[in-house]
Structure 1
Amino acid sequence: MTGVDGPTTVTGRRPGRIPVVLRDRSFRRYWTAQSLSYVGDQVTMVALPLTAVLALDASAVDMGLLWTLESLPLLLFSLHAGAWVDRRGRRRRIMISTDLARAVLLGSVPVAYLVGALTLPYVYAVAFLVGALAVLFNVSSYSLFPAMVPREHFVAGTSLTRGSFSFALVAGPGVGGVLVQIVSAPVTILLDALSFVVSAVLLRSVDVTEPEGDPTEARGYVWEGLRFVRRTPALLAKFVAGAGLNFFYSVYFTLLFLFAARELGLSAGMIGLVISVGAVGALVGSAVTTWTSGRIGLGATFIVGSFLYPAALVLTPLATGDRWLVVTMLLVGEFVSAVGLMLCDISGTSIQQALTPDVLRSRVQGAHLAVNYGARPLGSLVAGGMGTWLGLRPTMWIAVVGGAASVLFLFWSPIPRMRELPVPPDDHRRPVPEEAS
């Protein structure tokens, strides 16, 4: 296989060289803009609540409502956002618009604070609207990716895009916390708003020929992404396993801080150190995924990652004894888990990209967000009851074992046999929505 500068591997990387996709200026700007938006999302999730606490004296009930409103758009709008983007097209323009709209919304918070007009309802409204715009950005970015990256370079490109997403997910809250400590919460929100402006400017300079929108108005259009997943065994297994992984990980993470403090006697600083090492594991995982998939196959990489991600966390309920031994066990578990997450996320996203026709990309991604992220609040709710009824350590064991067992769904699918990127079935290239009965 030949790339723009000579022979490359099927994953788009020559041994010892940077990925081919990074040699393209438009992709570099797209990736940088996407990364800035992802980091901005995570900083917002820290800076807005801290603004509510420090500037408005928010209570525990107020904070619970704020966290709910920040994540609620994922459940409410993911399917409809995917359908709207697929119908409309113009994905780059949508991404630019959502970046600028988030910059305006977030920029209004420090302004309202300075003039003494900031209230909790206003912060609630900003959190909800920013979350909704983030959903639109996500489904648009996902469906723009294949127009930016040749099919043979999907894994290398996904290693970069999903690597920056996962790194932002892990490191973003820490960046937000440090900025709040240094420059205050309102100023952090202002800097966050400026990052979205920079992202919009970068996207404005991207040169890409996008697939046309689908003007179909047939009944069931919104649900066609889910129906496509149901008809595609590999994607169905991926979604079911992903929902299980997210559910049990939410159970684990909801109780992690309480377990580490009460059962293991760790300080806040030690707990922060344990969590932050996940960012290093995420970087390592994103760096080795392309190499791993080239050696053992794309499907096997996905399965290995899906198992390592929860299974490595067994060191948490196992932890006991000397404090530094406990900390070491947790550090190793978080690091290996983050590596597994990247193996799973990058290879799984590449499989989903390869199997999904252009006309359905945003709707399938919307279904992915609804199913996977929809399992998280449910897991958090269950965690509270289980932790009270069974105890913290037994619940952590259930979370780890349940998450590892989720990988079993993948073995009854074509995924274990996938060496390289799969090809979407011909009859799915332009699906016709089912008529409502």
Structure 2
Amino acid sequence: MSGRAERPVPLFRQPQFRSFFAAHIVSQFGDRVSELAFPLLAVLVLDATPAQVSVLTALVWLPNLTGLFLGAWVDRRAHKKWLLVTADLIRAALLVTVPVAFAFDAGTLAQLYAVALLTGAASVLFNTTYPAFFVLLVDRSRYLDANSALSASRSVSFIAGPALGGVLVQVLTAPVAILVDAVSFVASALGIGRIRLADAARTGRPDDDAPGTLWHRARDGLRFTLRDPVLRAGLGCATTVNYFSFVFSALLVLFASRTLGLPSGLLGLALGAGAVGGLLGAVVAPRLSARIGVGRSIVAGAVVFPASISFVAVADGPLWARVGLLGAAEFFSGFGVMLFDVNLNALNAAVIPDGLRSRVAGAYSTINYGVRPLGALTGGALGTWLGLRPTLWIAAVGGVLCVVWLLPSPIPKVRSLDHLGDPDHPRPDLTEVGAARGGDE
């Protein structure tokens, strides 16, 4: 036998990954349509106020506050795949109720609130299950490449999805556009359901089957997250940037449609064209991290992502300038967020023990995603009190402050993911890893 290590099969030659990738991109396209159609339905059909639109955005993310406990529950479930399928089907069923209600002139803002809240709850189930499923689907040597591919597909959906959503809203009405997202969740459920994986292939930590209440298991996940220097810094940074980005996003459609005067189709086109930056960021992330290091790539993305909001804050003048500045903001925001997400997600996957993955995801969800409703509500309040433009400036400046969490942490010194979290190699201090690998590139 040869002493050389066997090369892993390329990602897209693996049928299981291809099936999940296809399900992922279909669902992402549907989401982009719905993300535009929901607030436009509230603003254009139900004449919602800034505060009401911010509540709609907040309700989507509010269920993430339960993620800490849901993650503890998910970690003990053997068949992660079927939890993902169930979450997709629940979201599809809920979204179908919107076009049905509006077809009979029975649609109300209260119904949109209820659908937003319940689909958000199903999304928490999906997101807390996904990390444990991901490590069964992808070999650890492919974590960065797999995150890059999945993030790239998400970016592609941002290129065409908003434009498609704008056209669907303008031509077929917003309720029909939401139906597209419902169909995409059914397609995603079918794709994930075809995947054949051994859910028990990884047993996780030795104490994974230890008895304990849901509260104790949830507490263990939170404690591990807050004590680990990498997870703590990454969570603090992501929570800060998410808070301020949702101050911005809660007002984006309202600002673009009412203040900038962009029609639905042109708004969707501007958002889609700008999202090319997200695709570029996802594709470039592995190469850039190989050149400057995983940690520095995370820091760079954390700055570029929120700083781009300033382009929207200064948008004015002729129509082409307004559309161009909005597109530029989305371009750099998309590039930054993908540079941040691809590298941080891969780093987290490398350092979290298998038996704690859903619990840590739940802790992240509760804190990082749980702050998003607060950001959205803050955006609505500040937009009403100070005006839309001053609120956008607050979001841009506040978001950049997220790097305060990263700079004193071990993250900027991490060059690569080699041996991090590898059960066959005890995890050293990350500062030492960074220093040891500093001259490799």
User: How would you bin the TM-score normalised by the shorter chain?
Assistant: 0.7 to 0.9
Distance 2:57 2:397 in 1: 28
Residue type matched to 1:193 in 2?
A
Asked if 1:281 is matched to 2:270, the reply is: no
CA displacement, residues 146-189 of structure 1 (integer Å, 9 cap, x when unaligned): 11111111100001223334554675454334334344445444
- 1:384 is displaced (CA, Å) by 4.3
Q: Report SS of the residue matched to 1:348.
A: helix
Q: Give structure 1 stretches of 5+ with no counterpart.
A: 6-19, 430-437
Q: Report SS of the residue matched to 2:216.
A: coil
Q: Report SS of the residue matched to 1:416.
A: helix
Q: Aligned residue for 1:160?
A: 149
Q: Report SS of the residue matched to 1:87.
A: coil
C-alpha contact 2:158 2:271 (8 A) present in aligned 1:
no
- Aligned residue-pair number: 410
CA displacement, residues 125-165 of structure 1 (integer Å, 9 cap, x when unaligned): 44432221121112212221111111111100001223334
Structure 2 counterparts to residues 253-402 of structure 1, below 5 A:
253-256=249-252, 267-268=262-263, 271-317=267-313, 324=320, 327-387=323-383, 392-402=388-398
Q: Aligned residue for 1:15?
A: none
The verdict on how the C-alpha distance between 1:350 and 1:385 changes in structure 2, with shifts beyond 3 A counting, is: same
Which deviates more from structure 2 when the two are superposed, residues 243-252 or residues 387-396? 387-396
Q: Aligned residue for 2:198?
A: 209
The verdict on how the C-alpha distance between 1:190 and 1:277 changes in structure 2, with shifts beyond 3 A counting, is: closer
C-alpha contact 2:303 2:400 (8 A) present in aligned 1:
yes
Which deviates more from structure 2 when the two are superposed, residues 223-232 or residues 37-46? 37-46
Structure 2 counterparts to residues 68-217 of structure 1, below 5 A:
68-75=58-65, 77-110=66-99, 124-165=113-154, 167-168=156-157, 172-210=161-199, 211-212=202-203, 214-215=208-209, 216-217=211-212
Which deviates more from structure 2 when the two are superposed, residues 411-420 or residues 266-275? 266-275
- 1:283 is displaced (CA, Å) by 1.0
Q: Aligned residue for 1:241?
A: 237
Q: Report SS of the residue matched to 2:308.
A: helix
Distance 1:111 1:261 in 2: 26
- 1:192 is displaced (CA, Å) by 3.0
Q: Aligned residue for 2:421?
A: 424
Q: Pick one of 32, 37, 40 that aligns with 2:22.
A: 32
Distance 1:296 1:68 in 2: 37
- 1:278 is displaced (CA, Å) by 3.0
Residue type matched to 1:217 in 2?
G
Q: Give structure 2 stretches of 5+ with no counterpart.
A: 427-441
C-alpha contact 2:353 2:421 (8 A) present in aligned 1:
yes
The verdict on how the C-alpha distance between 1:409 and 1:341 changes in structure 2, with shifts beyond 3 A counting, is: same
CA displacement, residues 210-242 of structure 1 (integer Å, 9 cap, x when unaligned): 245855424521232221111110111111111
The verdict on how the C-alpha distance between 1:85 and 1:347 changes in structure 2, with shifts beyond 3 A counting, is: same
The verdict on how the C-alpha distance between 1:69 and 1:401 changes in structure 2, with shifts beyond 3 A counting, is: closer
- 1:414 is displaced (CA, Å) by 0.9
Distance 1:392 1:124 in 2: 23
C-alpha contact 2:159 2:276 (8 A) present in aligned 1:
no
C-alpha contact 1:96 1:200 (8 A) present in aligned 2:
yes
Distance 2:80 2:231 in 1: 23
- CA-atom RMSD in angstroms: 3.4
The verdict on how the C-alpha distance between 1:89 and 1:270 changes in structure 2, with shifts beyond 3 A counting, is: same
Q: Aligned residue for 1:3?
A: 7
Q: Percent identity?
A: 41
Distance 1:348 1:223 in 2: 23
Q: Report SS of the residue matched to 2:402.
A: helix
- 1:323 is displaced (CA, Å) by 6.3
Asked if 1:21 is matched to 2:18, the reply is: no
C-alpha contact 2:147 2:346 (8 A) present in aligned 1:
yes
Distance 2:219 2:179 in 1: 38
Distance 1:330 1:48 in 2: 20
Which deviates more from structure 2 when the two are superposed, residues 90-99 or residues 366-375? 366-375
- 1:357 is displaced (CA, Å) by 1.0
TM-score of the superposition, structure 1-length normalised? 0.80
Which deviates more from structure 2 when the two are superposed, residues 238-247 or residues 120-129? 120-129
Distance 1:121 1:314 in 2: 33
Which deviates more from structure 2 when the two are superposed, residues 191-200 or residues 248-257? 248-257
The verdict on how the C-alpha distance between 1:21 and 1:3 changes in structure 2, with shifts beyond 3 A counting, is: same
CA displacement, residues 2-57 of structure 1 (integer Å, 9 cap, x when unaligned): 5346xxxxxxxxxxxxxx211111001012213333333444445556667888x5
Residue type matched to 2:16 in 1?
S
TM-score of the superposition, structure 2-length normalised? 0.80
